[in-house]
Every structure is written in C-alpha cells, then in structure tokens.
Amino acid sequence: MTPTLRPMLCSEGSTKLLESGNYLFEPKLDGIRALIEKSGTSINIINRRGKIVTYKYPEIVRNINLHAETVVLDGEIVILDGGRPNFYRIEERELISDPLRIEILSELHPATYYVFDILYVDGEPLLSKPLEERKKLLNTIVQPHPRIDLCLYTEDGKTLFNSIKSFNLEGVIAKLKGSPYEPGKRSRYWLKIKNYKTIDTIICGYTYGKGVRSQYFGALVLGLYKGNKLMYIGKVGTGWTELQLKHLVELLKPLQINTPHFDIPYEVIWVRPCLVAVIQYIEWTEDLRLRNPSFKRLRFDKSPEDCRFNGAAITAKR
C-alpha cells in the first residue's frame, strides 16, 4: 500500500481572492477531516492525526464503490441535518466506541464522506499532478452514493461565498489551479476564506458554574502553546447548548489536575491540556486575549501541540 500520509492543510486567505480566476473554490465543510485508503477489499478511514477510525463509520465503509484496486482519497466526514452540517452529531460519534451504539447512530444519523482530492491510484502517486487533473480523475474513480460523494467546487468564488454566508457556515477554501498536493504541509496553495474568525484553542481548565450552570461550569479557560509553554488567551462562557455542556463536563472531569497552567486572578479547576476547542471571536485585544469569544465545537482531529500562539500573535497585528 502507499506510504503513511497526512492531509494537506490550509493557510489563511482573504475575500480578495473570491473574484480571482486562478482558483477553484469549495465550501469549508464542518466535519472530520479524513483520508480513505482502499487496497483490494480492505478499507481504512484515517483521521488527521493518523488514527484509524474505520470502526466509527460503518455506513461509509459499507457503501464505498471505488473503481480502482488501490486508492487514497482525501475528504471530510459530515453529518447533515436539514441540509446543513451538524457537528454535534459528528462529535457524538467521535466520543463513543461501543459497537452497538455506533451501529444505531449510523442508522439514525448517517455520515457522508465528501471527497475533494485523490493522492494515489493503483500504485501511481498523483501528488505532483495538477489540481484539475486530480479532480477530473475523481469523477472516474468515485461512484456517488448518499454515504460517499464528491465535494462541489466552482470557479465562481463570490457566489459560493455569498451562499455560505446566507447559511452562516464557516467559509470557503480557495485552491490554486495547477497546484500539487503537499501532504502534511500547511500550504499556500490552499487558502481558507472565513465567513467569521475562528481559532483552534486548548482547554486548560474551567470555572465553577453559578445558578442554572452550577451542575456544569461557568467558562472554559483557554490557552495556546508558545514554544513548549502554554500561554493564557482568555476564557469563553457562551456558545453551547445544555446538551453540549453535559458532554463537556463528562469529558473534563476525568482530566482534572492539581497543577495550574497560568497565574490568573480567579478560581479554576485545571485539566490536562488534551482537548481542542474551536472558538469564534471578534478580534484580539492588545494584551492578546480573545475579544467576545464564543464556543463553536470540539476538534478531535487536531493535536493540542498544533495549537500555537505564534499564528495568533501575527493575526493580532494585522
């Protein structure tokens, strides 16, 4: 089979690209990034961190029909609810390992794998092939099905972005025409154009809840790495449903530690820095704290060590 690969990653882009004729544009899907490797009858689903998660999505494996003996695909696992990605459903799937529960949820809320790239086919590496050639080849390899389909793309970035905004989705990805695939690299060939600002942060602790929040928590304490050290970037106390609060508490309680990560002037229950949260925000303050942060979701396909302070500092100065 092919060498172990990691997905190509995006850099930050701007809305100025939307009317450029040099890019293809795709919606930024709110799901779990994954590679699919097929070798004969064997199928593996591998998340961004290199972990095999095939067992979590049996409905995808059962319905894959690929016209190749061996192939590696790149795409996003998404669960749709009323035509919109529902990350809570994906989060639910990522948190369970019981086979019966997985099977039940695969029927109740089935996932779809949206394919947007192809890396290898029948032993031939495609990494250096132009983007358009890889897209064209996908049409001959992937047999569309409700559980596996091709991600839409267009040259009309402005229209796609306006559609994304009307649904309050996260944004679009601009991919340079003629570009190669760079495994594991945060490349300038692929650029995220966001509808709103988000950042991947590390949950370092939480505060005690009051009133209706007393059984849960008040706010999550957030950090980013700078070198090998965690740096405090503020706390977030909004953005979740009651059900998400319950799930977060269940995840956080077993992670409690006694050693504080930061010296901050309020009482905190500290946790091991192993959970990544996507936070929406307005801007950075002068002392590099998030202004008006709101919790969006957890990320299970990204390592906390990849949540770095340097990128945040650069963003703050722009």
Q: What are the residue numbers of the active site?
A: 28
Place of tokens 């929040």: 213
- Please say whether the dihedral angle defined by the alpha carbons of residues 143, 144, 150 and 153, taken in this order, is positive or negative: positive
Here the tokens at position 270 are 């500290």
Place of tokens 């390899």: 141
**Pair 304, 223: CB distance under 8 Å:** no
User: In whole angstroms, what is the distance from residue 177 CA to residue 180 CA?
Assistant: 9
User: In whole angstroms, what is the distance from residue 89 CA to residue 69 CA?
Assistant: 32
Here the tokens at position 163 are 């559609």
- Least Cα distance to 46 among 186, 64, 37 occurs for 37
> CB count, 10 Å around CB of 133?
12
> CB count, 10 Å around CB of 219?
20
User: In whole angstroms, what is the distance from residue 128 CA to residue 265 CA?
Assistant: 53
Q: How far apart are the first and last CA of the chain?
A: 44
Cα 63 to Cα 106, 144, 147: the distances in Å are: 12, 10, 6
Identity at 171, one-letter amino acid code: G
